């Protein structure tokens, strides 16, 4: 299905198909190059809904000049095979022309101040472009629930806020981060890494694990967790740190070094020319941690 009219017509038919109760629709938005992290979102969607729709769209609006839009991995045939094997009948894979017939859309969603921090500071306009396409996908598919990965924590925060701010009639479900055995979070961009870089990239999850372990001691501040994570990053010379920050989960703003309480640690780094991100929850108050 590549056209908006097509996805709407097929979903309308499926919604009505002889059901006394209206089936629940879950949307899983992706940019393709599917890996087990994406498939975990599909599984989650299947648990909580009757109809699962996966969208595959490498959204030009969320890539800046000089970013990897042109070389972003596109593996549509393999993706469709994986989704068919996973039993997903609804795949919406539009062209850029289908989504943006006029080229660049005149109307956009803006992500506000938090949209300019962290990933937004490194990638100006990225979150406006992301929210704009997510709003369009919500309007095209009309899901009851949309499943996002915790891997992109700032994205999750901004999408949840957009849904609240604009009273969009759906719920956001957040699935935990899927990692390799080494700890490296699965990402479509991992395929850019050579063997040495892949080994070095392990430093991101190792840094988060070090912070989590300090927090588990039960009496750590944000500053202490940051120091532990920074040491782990500095031990990997191939990893060029962009940001390492502890944010408040409700505001997504940085907390002070003395802060104790619920928090999330975010990290971004360049390994070679590949930009990688990761995050973990830290409960600096009670020492409870989670890898979600
Ligand atoms: P992307 O194709 O990179 O735009 O990702 C599509 C969705 O998959 C987003 O909600 C991501 O957060 C999610 N995702 C990507 N990698 C992972 C992962 N390792 N674990 C869980 N979710 C992921």
The whole-chain average pLDDT of the chain stands at 94
According to the annotation, is 158 in a ligand binding site? Answer: no
Top-level CATH class of 190-280?
alpha beta
Ligand 1 centroid to 22 CA: how many Å? Answer: 28
165 is in an annotated binding site: no
pTM score over 0.85: yes
287 C-beta neighbours (distance < 10 Å), count? 16
- pLDDT tens per residue across span 173-221: 999 999 999 999 999 999 999 999 999 999 999 999 999 999 987 789 9
38 has catalytic annotation = yes
Fold of 4-175: Rossmann fold (3.40.50)
Share of the chain above pLDDT 90, in %: 87
Q: In the predicted model, is pLDDT for residue 233 greater than 70?
A: yes
Going by C-alpha positions, the residue among 188, 56, 60 that lies closest to residue 125 is 60
Q: Which ranges in the chain are annotated with CATH 3.30.1300.10?
A: 190-280
pLDDT(289) > 60 = no
CA 289 to chain CA centroid, Å, is: 20
Laid out side by side, the sheet with 239-247 consists of 239-247, 262-271, 274-283, 289-290
Mean pLDDT of 233-243: 96
54 CA to middle of ligand 1, Å?
12
Q: Where in the chain is the domain with CATH 3.40.50.620?
A: 4-175
Phi/psi of residue 179, each to 5°?
-120, 155
Higher pLDDT, residue 39 or 288? 39
For atom 6 of ligand 1, the residue with the nearest CA is 30
- Mutation probe of ligand 1 site: the residue of 26, 29, 33, 37 with most atoms within 8 A of C-beta: 37
For residue 186, the ligand 1 atom closest to its alpha carbon is: 19
What's the confidence (pLDDT) of residue 292?
Answer: 53
DSSP designation for 185: B
- The ligand 1 site (C-beta within 6 Å) comprises 30-31, 37-38, 40-41, 148-149, 151-152, 175, 177-178, 185-188
Mean per-residue pLDDT for 55-62? 98
- Beta pairing partners, 127: none
How many CA atoms lie less than 13 Å away from 90 in the CB half-sphere?
28
User: Could you please report the per-residue DSSP string of 94-121?
Assistant: --HHHH-TTSS-S-----TGGGGSTHHH
Q: Per-residue pLDDT for 159 more than 50?
A: yes
């Amino acid at each position: 299905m590549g056209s908006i009219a097509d996805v709407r017509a097929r979903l309308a038919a499926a919604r009505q198909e002889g059901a006394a109760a209206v089936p629940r629709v879950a949307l899983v938005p992706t940019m393709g190059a599917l890996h087990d992290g994406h498939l975990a979102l599909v599984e989650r969607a299947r648990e909580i809904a009757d109809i699962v729709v996966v969208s595959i769209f490498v959204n030009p609006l969320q890539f800046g000049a000089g970013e990897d839009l042109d070389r972003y991995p596109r593996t549509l045939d393999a993706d469709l095979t994986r989704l068919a094997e996973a039993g997903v009948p609804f795949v919406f894979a539009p062209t850029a022309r289908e989504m943006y017939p006029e080229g660049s859309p005149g109307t956009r969603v803006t992500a506000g101040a938090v949209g300019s921090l962290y990933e937004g500071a490194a990638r100006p306009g990225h979150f406006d472009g992301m929210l704009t396409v997510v709003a369009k996908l919500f309007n095209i598919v009309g899901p009851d629930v949309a499943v996002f990965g915790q891997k992109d924590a700032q994205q999750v925060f901004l999408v949840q806020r957009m849904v609240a701010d604009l009273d969009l009639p759906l719920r956001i479900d957040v699935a935990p981060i899927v990692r390799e055995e080494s700890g490296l979070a699965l990402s479509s961009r991992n395929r850019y890494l050579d063997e040495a870089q892949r080994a070095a990239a392990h430093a991101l999850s190792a840094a988060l694990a070090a912070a989590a372990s300090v927090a588990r001691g039960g009496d750590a501040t944000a500053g202490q967790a940051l120091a532990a994570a920074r040491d782990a990053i500095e031990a990997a010379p191939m990893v060029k740190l962009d940001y390492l920050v502890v944010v408040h989960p409700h505001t997504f703003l940085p907390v002070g070094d003395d802060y104790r309480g619920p928090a999330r640690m975010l990290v971004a780094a360049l390994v070679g020319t590949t930009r990688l991100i990761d995050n973990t929850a830290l409960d600096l108050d009670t020492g409870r941690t989670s890898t979600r």
